[in-house]
């Protein structure tokens, strides 16, 4: 479980350092608005997203098994984090994240990194598309300017509440959200090396500040962001509380392990490198333990930010550590500027994030290619994710998927004889 940075550090050159610093700054500019938006969508304070990127992002790069992994809060966690906070409060989330960190560390010690490959792909795809649907739905109130302070957590209930409040749609908010989405798409299309996310969100927020004062902002909803970094503390730990939060912790650990290792595999294909799965799992465990100590959100490898790091020229874990350092500087010296970011702009950003997360270019293959059983498993996992909860979706999908895999391998049934009783 040797961290990748120990292998890349010997022979590290000034040219490589220059590339990593440039890539780290670039990906930090991409990460800042995403981290704020993800924290808000998760039901947490905006600043928790930045703390997660600083603490979790640094440790995932410093201790991880990938050359170019970027860590932090991700959209995949929004649903489970929102549920935990709504049911158990922020203290409950911190404890669940702590337990997840222990689970991930134990998984690394038992060298379970390679087991991720056995999770059926239709389950991952159905789960991911389902989460994207829930994220998109959750962002519609901010995007449309609809005041839904007590919106139902359930998908159908939230849709019904949005429909009932359709007469309250605020056109200025809607315009800011659309402008943000259009700017992101255009900047990615014509200026792919620019930090399009922060430019689009900042530009749309500036427009709202100057000409549309009624558009909600981070400051108007959450108050001024703190500028002092928190001291580490531990949540209250009791046996009953651990048992109560264990299912949520297992989901967080599963998501962190799946997403980080998928991100590392994507990075390997882009860079022709080979990651160390058990070192990657251990870094996820340590990072989530640290995130819990600082009272923030769960962390994992972020596929889109990792790809941005690679395209910007990052080649070693130093880029990810620089990314965390840049976000820390912004936290300490420029956090008041984040108070002016418009919530419809962040809503538009997350709507695009959900769209990209669902991988629409693969939709046709999900429902037309491969065995009928795989297509059925995809649809089942998607439906369970959206209409029930993540625990049921993952447990059911994985169990059925593994059973289908055994059947395809034509494993004979066990010769079982009832015992004499």
Distance CA 217, CA 23 (A): 29
Closest C-alpha among 301, 254, 297, 261 to residue 37: 297
Task: Give the predicted TM-score (pTM) of the model.
Answer: 0.84
pLDDT surpasses 70 at 46: yes
The mean pLDDT value of the chain amounts to: 87
Report the pLDDT value the prediction gives residue 421, as an integer from 0 to 100.
41
pLDDT surpasses 50 at 79: yes
- Give the pLDDT band (50/70/90) at residue 416: very low
* Residue 230 DSSP SS3: coil
Q: How many CA atoms lie within 13 A of 72 on its CB side?
A: 33
Cβ neighbours of 379 (radius 10 Å): 15
Report the pLDDT value the prediction gives residue 88, as an integer from 0 to 100.
93
Report the pLDDT value the prediction gives residue 30, as an integer from 0 to 100.
85
Question: What residues have CB less than 8 Å from 394, skipping those under 6 apart?
Answer: 123, 127, 251, 254
Host H or E run for residue 71: strand 71-72
pLDDT surpasses 60 at 232: yes
Question: What is the share, in percent, of the chain residues with pLDDT greater than 90?
Answer: 39
Q: What is the pLDDT of residues 144-176, one digit of tens each?
A: 988 876 666 677 888 888 888 888 889 999 999
CA angle, 42 then 137 then 344, to 5°: 75
DSSP string, 146-197: ---TT--SSHHHHHHHHHHTGGG--HHHHHHHHHHHHHHHHHHHH-TTS-HH
Q: What is the mean pLDDT of residues 358-372?
A: 80
DSSP string, 265-326: HHHHHHHT----HHHHHHHHHHHHHHHHHTT----EE-HHHHHHHHHTT--STHHHHHHHHH
List the beta bridge partners of residue 342. Answer: 217
The CA-based diameter of the chain, rounded to the nearest angstrom, is 82
Q: Does 11 or 414 have the greater pLDDT score?
A: 11
End-to-end CA distance of the chain: 48
Q: Does 315 or 388 have the greater pLDDT score?
A: 315
Question: What is the share, in percent, of the chain residues with pLDDT greater than 70?
Answer: 96
Q: How many CA atoms lie within 13 A of 120 on its CB side?
A: 29
pLDDT surpasses 70 at 219: yes
Q: What is the mean pLDDT of residues 363-378?
A: 83
Distance CA 85, CA 365 (A): 36
Report the pLDDT value the prediction gives residue 407, as an integer from 0 to 100.
77
Report the pLDDT value the prediction gives residue 132, as an integer from 0 to 100.
86
* Residue 413 DSSP SS3: coil
pLDDT surpasses 50 at 420: no
Element counts in the chain: helices (H) and strands (E): 17, 2
Question: What residues have CB less than 8 Å from 227, skipping those under 6 apart?
Answer: 331, 332, 333, 335, 336
Q: What is the mean pLDDT of residues 101-124?
A: 85
Token output for 182? 């259009």
Closest C-alpha among 251, 269, 287 to residue 84: 251
Report the pLDDT value the prediction gives residue 411, as an integer from 0 to 100.
53
* Residue 213 DSSP SS3: coil
Range with top average pLDDT, 84-98, 220-234, 374-388: 84-98
């Amino acid at each position: 479980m040797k961290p990748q940075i120990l292998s890349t550090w010997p022979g590290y050159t000034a040219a490589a350092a220059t590339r990593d610093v440039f890539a780290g700054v670039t990906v930090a500019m991409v990460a800042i608005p995403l981290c704020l938006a993800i924290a808000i969508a998760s039901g947490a304070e905006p600043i928790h997203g930045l703390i997660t990127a600083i603490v979790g992002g640094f440790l995932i790069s410093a201790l991880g098994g990938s050359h170019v992994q970027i860590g932090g809060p991700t959209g995949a966690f929004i649903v489970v984090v929102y549920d935990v906070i709504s049911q158990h409060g922020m203290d409950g989330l911190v404890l669940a994240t702590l337990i997840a960190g222990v689970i991930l560390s134990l998984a690394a010690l038992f060298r379970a990194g390679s087991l991720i490959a056995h999770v059926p792909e239709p389950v991952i795809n159905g789960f991911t598309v389902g989460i994207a649907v829930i994220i998109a739905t959750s962002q519609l109130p901010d995007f449309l300017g609809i005041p839904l302070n007590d919106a139902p957590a359930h998908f159908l209930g939230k849709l019904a509440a949005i429909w009932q409040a359709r007469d309250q749609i605020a056109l200025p908010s809607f315009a800011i959200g659309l402008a943000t989405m259009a700017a992101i798409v255009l900047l990615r299309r014509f200026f792919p090396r620019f930090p399009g996310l922060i430019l689009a969100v900042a530009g749309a927020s500036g427009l709202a500040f100057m000409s549309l004062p009624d558009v909600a902002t981070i400051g108007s909803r959450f108050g001024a962001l703190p500028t002092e970094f928190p001291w580490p503390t531990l949540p209250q730990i009791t046996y009953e509380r651990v048992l109560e939060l264990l299912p949520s912790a297992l989901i967080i650990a599963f998501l962190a392990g799946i997403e980080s290792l998928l991100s590392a595999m994507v990075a390997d294909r882009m860079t022709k490198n080979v990651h160390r799965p058990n070192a990657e799992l251990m870094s996820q465990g340590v990072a989530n333990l640290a995130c819990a100590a600082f009272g923030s959100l769960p962390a994992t490898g972020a596929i889109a930010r990792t790809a941005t790091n690679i395209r910007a020229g990052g080649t070693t874990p130093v880029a990810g550590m620089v990314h965390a350092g840049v976000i820390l500087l912004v936290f300490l010296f420029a956090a008041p500027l984040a108070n002016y970011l418009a919530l419809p702009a962040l809503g538009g950003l997350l709507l695009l994030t959900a769209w990209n997360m669902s991988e629409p270019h693969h939709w046709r293959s999900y429902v037309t290619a491969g065995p009928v059983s795989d297509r059925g498993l995809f649809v089942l996992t998607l439906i369970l994710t959206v209409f029930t909860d993540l625990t049921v979706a993952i447990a059911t999908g994985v169990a059925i998927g593994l059973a289908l895999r055994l059947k395809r391998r034509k494993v004979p049934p066990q010769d079982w004889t009832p015992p004499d009783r």
